[in-house]
Amino acid sequence: MRLLELAEVIRSKNASPFELTMDIIFKSERIFKQIVGQRVITTSTIAKLYQIPEDKVVSIIEFAHARAIKITIIRPVSSGDLGDTDIYGAQQHAPLMNWEIEYQGVNSGNGGGTG
Amino acid sequence: MLVEEKEMRVLSPTAILGYGFPLDSFRRGIAKGPHVIAVDAGSIDPGPYYLGSGNSFTDYKAVKRDLEVILTSCYDLGIPLVIGTAGGSGANMHLNWCLEIIREVVRENKLSFKAAIVEAEIPRNRLLKKLELGKIKKLFPHEEITLGDLEQSTAIVGQMGIEPFIKAFEFGADIIIAGRAYDPAVFACYPIFKGYDKALSLHMGKILECACIAATPGSGSDCMMGYIRKDHFCLEPLNETRRCTTTSVAAHTMYEKSNPYLLPGPGGALDLRFTSFEQVNEGVVKVKGSKYITSNQYTVKIEGAGLIGYRALSIAGARDPIFIGNVQEIILEVKKRVEDNFQDLIDPYFLTFRLYGRDGVMGAMEPLKNYACHELGIVIEAVSKSQEIANTICSFARSTMMHYGYPKRIATAGNLAFPFSPSDLEAGKVYKFLIHHLVEVDDPMELFKIRIAQI
């Protein structure tokens, strides 16, 4: 399932001129817990998605209050330096949207669990 | 200090002074009897140019419009106004620009205020001394500061905490116009001055500084009211079409921050590990449990940008599928031609071709590398030590690319569609962030200068 279908907000923004922070706010508490439990959003998957070395991924933090996962990476170049493409860092979230995530969501309904 | 009243109401009209707000929302806020109006007037987000050049990223007329509404209300109601990061970046040129607008509004509307003006630009020699003493610290992931960074930055500002604002209130100021400030301090200073909890005041400030961005639907140009009480605070959008929800407020708490649980600022950090968010009614959210951790060493974040050159741009488009298919090789060849033609040029230059429709937005991080597109936006960019050289390189790269005879070309008249004449633009000075560090201080007031003026 694409992450886009599980999230209510997917965004990116500078956190200082040297870091980029991306928030994924999930549609429900249940989806959030499920994704956190599955451990699919990790340093290694993010590094692969953004084609950056793993040491450029600063942190991945779960923020339960907002049903959110926050990903922070080091900017390829600082905001406004030669070669920068996005001064505010506001359009770097798009690869997250189309990210195919294996979501083992439990269907509410007839309770026919598949185990 | 004792809490004089049961609650204090802090009105945040807009996310950035000059971004505007609907008068209806503002009037609704005024009708609720705010004790103070506070507004953030700047940001580092628009990039290094504004801090480096001394210009504002906000517009004079738009800032004047907002100030006219706010200042006349403050005068009529006799309530204080706090402005932080005046003029967009908060160096002295920005502060003076904002002050000029305030004086104009005051004169035209026959108002009068006792103003406290707080400078945040730090004289270079004071920082050189701090450097010598090893009191300037690295802030991850930026590098250690160098003497060159201090010498090349045009203006260096420090982010003030609540202390200079509180001092200004002690002087009896009606309005405070401050240079670069820690955004939450602008909103938290008056509640803290009046005895409200520091952690709650700062957390409320963190959310109010962006006004209605914390609501849903969010907006950077609409009013929000904060209500601070003994052990909690509440947030209420002042436009009936917006609501605060526990998710929207919690989400905003982590906005633009790398760690949502620990938000560092001057002199300490907000600790949100025990914070709770509660929906009071449709639209109003209550927050409590936020704590404050005081640092052993008070630090002030400093920012500086330095001139690195001059830029020239040429904007073009391409629609020919053979050209688009070969564009990477064509760029390499054009770069070679430029290099060959100007091999006697001593000054280095930076030449790049941004390809919109391919990877113009994400560069090397773009995952869809070979995605077919039917048209391509091309920005040719040249940066060098002088405007003349940047113009030369840009112009030559543009004419070379226009007529470059690439293999299998069948459109032999020209490769680019220019939307404008002239096709090349002088974009002027280019700055780079050099300083983004922490300075250790003995006194929170040490780097900031307050003066009182009747305006």
- Tokens 């760690």 locate to B259
Residue B369 pLDDT class (50, 70, 90 cuts): confident
Compute the distance between CA of residue B252 and CA of residue A11 in angstroms, rounded to an integer.
12
- pLDDT beyond 90 at B216: yes
Interchain CB distance below 8 Å, B45 and A81: no
pLDDT at B12: 98
Average pLDDT for residues B349-370, to the nearest whole number?
Answer: 95
Q: Where are the domains of chain B?
A: 8-303+436-454, 320-416
pLDDT at B448: 98
pLDDT at B372: 84
pLDDT at B210: 94
Identify the CATH number of the domain in which residue A42 sits.
3.30.70.260
Compute the distance between CA of residue B102 and CA of residue A9 in angstroms, rounded to an integer.
38
Interchain CB distance below 8 Å, B256 and A70: no
pLDDT at A110: 40
Residue A103 pLDDT class (50, 70, 90 cuts): confident
Interchain CB distance below 8 Å, A94 and B362: yes
Average pLDDT for residues A14-20, to the nearest whole number?
Answer: 96
Cβ-based contacts of A85 with chain B (< 8 Å): 354, 360-363
How close, in Å, is residue B247 to chain A by CA atoms? Answer: 5
| pLDDT single digits (tens) B393-413 | 999 999 999 999 999 999 999
Enter the tokens of residue B68: 């006219």
* Cβ-defined contacts of A3-9 (< 8 Å, 24+): A3/A96, A3/A97, A3/A98, A3/A99, A3/A101, A4/A97, A4/A98, A6/A31, A6/A35, A6/A101, A6/A103, A8/B247, A9/A68, A9/B251
Cβ-based contacts of A88 with chain B (< 8 Å): 45-46
pLDDT at B280: 96
How close, in Å, is residue A83 to chain B by CA atoms? Answer: 8
Inter-CA distances, B416 with B317, B327, B412, Å: 6, 11, 11
DSSP for B414-435? Answer: -S-B-SSSS-EEEEEEEEEEEE
Is residue A70 in some structural domain?
yes
Is residue A7 in some structural domain?
yes
Nearest to A85 among B247, B362, B436 (CB): B362
Cβ-based contacts of B246 with chain A (< 8 Å): 65
Regarding an ipTM greater than 0.90, the answer is yes
pLDDT at A106: 57
Q: How many CB pairs under 8 A join A and B?
A: 129
| pLDDT single digits (tens) B253-308 | 888 788 889 999 999 999 999 999 999 999 999 999 999 999 999 999 999 999 99
Interchain CB distance below 8 Å, B436 and A61: no
pLDDT at B391: 98
How close, in Å, is residue A91 to chain B by CA atoms? Answer: 7
How close, in Å, is residue B360 to chain A by CA atoms? Answer: 7
More confident residue, A111 or B318: B318
In chain B, the percentage of residues whose pLDDT exceeds 70 is: 99
Nearest to B363 among A21, A76, A81 (CB): A76
Q: What domain range includes position A16?
A: 3-77+91-99
DSSP for B189-250? Answer: HHHHHTT--HHHHHHHHHHHTTGGGGSBS--SSS-EEEEE-SS-EEEEESSTT-BB-HHHHH
Is residue A51 in some structural domain?
yes
> Is residue B385 less than 8 Å (CB to CB) from chain A?
no
Enter the tokens of residue B14: 């807009």
pLDDT at A105: 67
Query: CA geometry: angle at B126 spanning A78 and B115, to 5°?
Result: 90
Cβ-based contacts of B49 with chain A (< 8 Å): 80
> Is residue A110 less than 8 Å (CB to CB) from chain B?
no
Residue B371 pLDDT class (50, 70, 90 cuts): confident
| pLDDT single digits (tens) B78-133 | 999 999 999 999 999 999 999 999 999 999 999 999 999 999 999 999 999 999 99
Counted domains in chain A = 1
Compute the distance between CA of residue A93 and CA of residue A95 in angstroms, rounded to an integer.
6
Inter-CA distances, B15 with B58, B87, B199, Å: 12, 14, 21
First to last CA, chain B: 30
Backbone φ, ψ for residue A64 (5° rounding): -60, -35
How close, in Å, is residue A70 to chain B by CA atoms? Answer: 8
| pLDDT single digits (tens) B313-337 | 999 999 999 999 999 999 999 999 9
